[in-house]
Amino acid sequence: MKSWIASANDPVSHFPVQNLPYGVARKAGQAARCVAAIGDKVVDLAALEDAGLLHTGAQVFATGSLNGFMALGRQVWDRVRGDLTDLLVEGGNPALRNTPALRQKALLDAGQVEMLMPVKVTEYTDFYAGMQHAKNMGEILRGSPDLPENWLHIPIGYNGRASSVVVSGTAIRRPWGQVRGAGGPVFQPTERLDIELELGAIIGQPSALGAPVSVAQAEDMIFGYVLLNDWSARDIQGWEYQPLGPFQGKAFGTSISPWVVTSAALDAFRTAAPPRETPLLPYLDPQKPGLYDITLTVSMQPEGADRPTTVTRTNYARMYYSAAQQLCHHSIGGCPMNVGDLLGSGTISGPERGEFGSLMELSWAGRDPFTLATGQTRSFIEDGDTLTLSGYAEGNGYRIGFGECSGKILPAIAQPDWTK
């Protein structure tokens, strides 16, 4: 398919007419609105809704989050996607293309708007579902790549903080915390600040308390996906994580991309999980391939550097458990899921060093620093560094892209005065 919006037909554009991801944007002096991306434009969905061109059965787009739209369910998601495609595809419904006043109101240059959080995140759960990452971390921390006994049987996860999930472009301040010292714990800013390259699943439909969902039902509950960087303070995490897992080492910030790529747009890129080393229990068996062939990259740019360096290139298909399996397992004891819940895939790493999804792995916990294109070396993130995630699925002459998820690290605040 081609669009009458020329920029959408560029084969390296992340936002062709086959994609149409959703987000929330604000034009200067105006309220936030739900939007879609097409080429170098954003489409004001509320304007199309007011014109009677999007059929939701409710007014849901003149708002600051996608939650109201997601709550309407998959039939409405599919109908609106069809409406949008028809309005933007070459030779489709001319109501937008041939109406100058509506076009001026509804079709904006991407540079005209500020992208905001796309959803109101109700709860956030992060998983540990990449086999290579789990083996690498075992080797680094315990001297053995052997997986925990339960790892091949369940998607391991922990409940994180929704309050610190932020949109791409939000600066992250280096956190303070307790770290292990020679004679006991020391309170200081983290010295081992890291990233985790992940894909986040956005839950668009709820489940009830006490009602587990199957993998097939979970597939139908997932509205779409975002790039996700789960910032990590490895020295804080290393002191606190036993026996209950991550806490302050993770709670200070998680960045997501502003665009939510729908599961419908990714459906053509489904791919099977790696071969199972041991059979899963029946409730986790998928009915169809649950992963996607999505190329993912991480770049790093020190403050003042004239260009970024790509430090990682990997693929979401490296995961061992899909988002639907994670969602199924999350609910299996009766935990209710909400519209707007966010599930992090876990760090995505491949078998080669250039495919590792964290700096902890890339520098092997600082023992083997890597060199950037500018000549600088890194083991972990330094103040002023900007980390950027990007990703896309490659079709025949088009890409289903996520745009970017970026964040700059600011110095830690001055040490608080605890006497006040």
Q: Does 63 share its domain with 187?
A: no
Residue 154 belongs to what domain range?
A: 124-410
* Segment 205-246, tens digit of pLDDT: 999 999 999 999 999 999 999 999 999 999 999 999 989 889
Q: CB burial class (10 A; 0-12, 13-18, 19+) of residue 382?
A: middle
CA terminus-to-terminus distance, the chain: 63
- Of the listed 14, 55, 133, 329, which one is catalytic? 133
SS3 383: coil
Q: Which domain CATH number covers 353?
A: 3.90.850.10
Answer with the one of 116, 135, 156 that is the final residue of a domain: 116
Q: Does 303 share its domain with 397?
A: yes
Backbone phi, then psi, for 207, in 5-degree steps? Answer: -130, 165
Q: To 10 degrees, the CA torsion angle through 4, 25, 32, 23?
A: 80
* Segment 366-405, tens digit of pLDDT: 999 999 999 999 999 999 999 999 999 999 999 999 999 9
Tokens read off for 339 = 């519209």
**pLDDT confidence bin for 419, thresholds 50/70/90:** confident
Q: Does 205 share its domain with 308?
A: yes
Q: CB-based contacts of 185: which residues, under 8 Å, 6+ apart?
A: 178, 179, 239
For residue 148, the tally of other CB atoms under 10 A from its CB is: 12
SS3 394: strand
Per the structure, the count of domains in the chain is 2
Answer with the one of 116, 143, 175 that is the final residue of a domain: 116
8-state DSSP, 337: -
Q: Does 173 share its domain with 33?
A: no
Rounded CA separation 6/109 (Å): 13
* Segment 36-95, tens digit of pLDDT: 999 999 999 999 999 999 999 999 999 999 999 999 999 999 999 999 999 999 999 999
* Segment 138-189, tens digit of pLDDT: 999 999 999 999 999 999 999 999 999 999 999 999 999 999 999 999 999 9
Whether residue 416 lies inside any domain: the answer is: no
Whether residue 361 lies inside any domain: the answer is: yes
Of the candidates 94, 308, 66, the residue with the CA atom closest to the CA atom of residue 204: 66
Whether residue 205 lies inside any domain: the answer is: yes
Tokens read off for 204 = 């668009």
Q: Does 142 share its domain with 75?
A: no
Instruction: Tell me what pLDDT residue 34 has.
Output: 98
Is residue 133 among the annotated active site residues?
yes
* Segment 40-55, tens digit of pLDDT: 999 999 999 999 999 9
Task: Report percent pLDDT > 70 for the chain.
Answer: 100
SS3 304: coil
Which residues on adjacent β-strands are paired with residue 24? 34, 116
Rounded CA separation 41/118 (Å): 17
Q: Does 283 share its domain with 163?
A: yes
**pLDDT confidence bin for 287, thresholds 50/70/90:** confident
8-state DSSP, 66: S
Q: Does 102 share its domain with 224?
A: no
- Whole-model pTM? 0.97
